[in-house]
Amino acid sequence: MSTIELLKSKMDEASFTKLAAINNDEVNDFIAKAIELCDPDSVFVGDDSDMDAAYCRVRAIDGLEEVQLTTNGHTAHWDGYFDQARKKDVTKYLVPSEENLDKNLNQVEREEGLSEIEGMQKDSYKGRMMYVRFFCLGSTNSEFAIPCLQITDSAYVVHSEELLYRRGYEEFKRQSAADPNFEFFKFRHATGEVDERKTSKNYKDNRVYMDYTRNTVLSVNTQYAGNTVGLKKLSLRLAIRKADREGWLAEHMFIMRSNGPNGRQTYLAGAYPSACGKTSTAMLPGENIVGDDLAYFKVIDGEFRACNVEAGIFGIITDVSEDDDPVIWKLLHQPGEVIFGNILVKDGKPYWLGMTGDIPECGENYSGEWTKGKIGPEGKEITPSHKNARYTVQMRDLDNADPDWDNPEGLPMGGIIYGGRDSDTSVPVREAYSWEHGVCMMGATLESETTSATIGKEGVRTWNVMSNMDFLSMSVGRYIQNNLDFAKEIKRPKVFGTNYFRKKDGKFLNGKLDKGVWIRWMELRVHGDAEAIDAGYGLIPKYEDLKILFKDVRGEDYTEEQYIAQFTLNIPEIIAKIDRIEEIYSTKVTDTPETMTKLMKEERARLEALRAEKGDYITPNDL
């Protein structure tokens, strides 16, 4: 049977007509391969219409992958009890036997891995509909656009992608007409056998494999969106390699707009590991969000510009409250499309850990019927909602979304932020001396300190280069060098480092919303409207400027005592961090850029000189 005959045998006329309009052999071949391998009863091909989006949403509800809630447009989805997060140990690159990939990266020989996962996906769509949907990473009809073809047997997956990404059917038609050999990303997901709640049953056989030689992601026996919505972190790994080939950057960063004096608008991007303040920074009151998770950087018309890769937010809902997260809270309580994931439902209403208000003592959650005190299979009490419970919403529904968030030309970047977490080392905000200094000594040295909420020992510093360590698809050294080399011929953004978690006597020195002040100081520095003090490992604010900003932004008086406590240099701790980082780059990284090695030595020398002159702990007034 020919490819066209095979496609026609599983599709109605409407679906085949949509597919034929794209007129692309690689698209047809990928879909035909999925039909042959997975053997669906039928195939639905969607375009960019609201009607096709609505059809998939209804299928998700009718197929019990989602349940309707009382608020119009709201649904809830549950993943399997043991399928609540990304599975790092089974997420692997498929590496051809003749190639070498950094040994720090999880991998399997390509043919071996393909054989395994295709064996698991064999006949997995029997009795089910196969969904073929077209989406786009980055703005459509732009230099940022990467078309994506998603194949799945889960209506929930494509419904999620409808909220999180731009529709890409017309983009496929456009690019295919311009060049039949255009590059696109491909995803094939199979839910696998399901239980009575329609959740993946064989969680022990989860597999998420990335074939970077074919721009393809394959996953099986999982429903959790981080493993199945291929356009998210899985596509980031493919995009990092594409960016490497083409001379741009794919980053794990939010993008926001800071609103400066006299209506000035300044765009900032930031990389923050988990629990370091990423979402709360992107969603600061008085500022505007462009995107909360992924960014592409390109030089366009001689400017360093960034694009939000996504069109929605797949956010952690735990601790979202009315006071701390007013924009998200409002969106989660008004009519409009929202998918809640792994929360508690009682009488058609959603509940989650850390929310404002009381939580019922019974309902339905990721464990099934739940009552307070219920013990899970691992012998621990089951919480009302999972700590990694989620919400999925669209950017356009956020009150604080920047009106220009989907600009096809991207947005000009004024600053890049690397946000870590430690209790005793870094000051709340500092500016790098240069792009190179920022990339190496703020981005490539990024650390996150474990907390009491983390399994294991508290206070352990985890290295996470530019908050992208889990998603690198090349060596660390090459990735850093690509950042160093990017956009050399143009004016590059200023680079900043933040740490919202400094403590004294066990208490945080910053308020939760003080980060709004640090952002506004960065905005002033981007435009040369505030002075700074050289602190040996970057430039720090002057007290006079922060005093004004605290009054303007927070409506609070900021004392000199606060300033001294927050911005005193802890030289021994800073040098201890350099020791840790030098050890990593001399043992774990085999291709550390010379620039990185040079800047670490220079930073150590500056700090040792300060220490010899002024002591171990130096107040900003003594600099």
CA distance readout (Å), 380 to 84, 375, 376, 383, 561: 16, 5, 5, 9, 45
Cα angle 542, 545, 551; round to 5: 135
Cα angle 18, 138, 212; round to 5: 80
CA 267/CA 273 separation, integer angstroms: 20
CA dihedral 158, 162, 165, 168 (to 10 degrees): 80
Q: Is 136 a catalytic residue?
A: no
88 DSSP assignment:
G
CA 134/CA 231 separation, integer angstroms: 11
Q: How many helices (H) and strands (E) does the chain have?
A: 18, 35
Question: Among positive and negative, which fits the CA dihedral 586, 590, 596, 602?
Answer: positive
Pair of tokens at residue 88? 């790092």
Q: What are phi and psi of 247, to 5 degrees?
A: 85, 35
Residue from 38, 136, 148, 276 carrying the catalytic annotation: 276
What single string gives the DSSP state of each residue in 376-430?
A: -TTSSBPPSS-TT-EEEEEGGG-TTB-TTTT-TT-EEEEEEEEEEB-SSSS-SEE
Contacts made by residues 375-384, CB under 8 angstroms, sequence distance 24+: 376/81, 377/81, 383/353, 384/344, 384/351, 384/352, 384/353, 384/359, 384/360
Residues belonging to the active site: 276
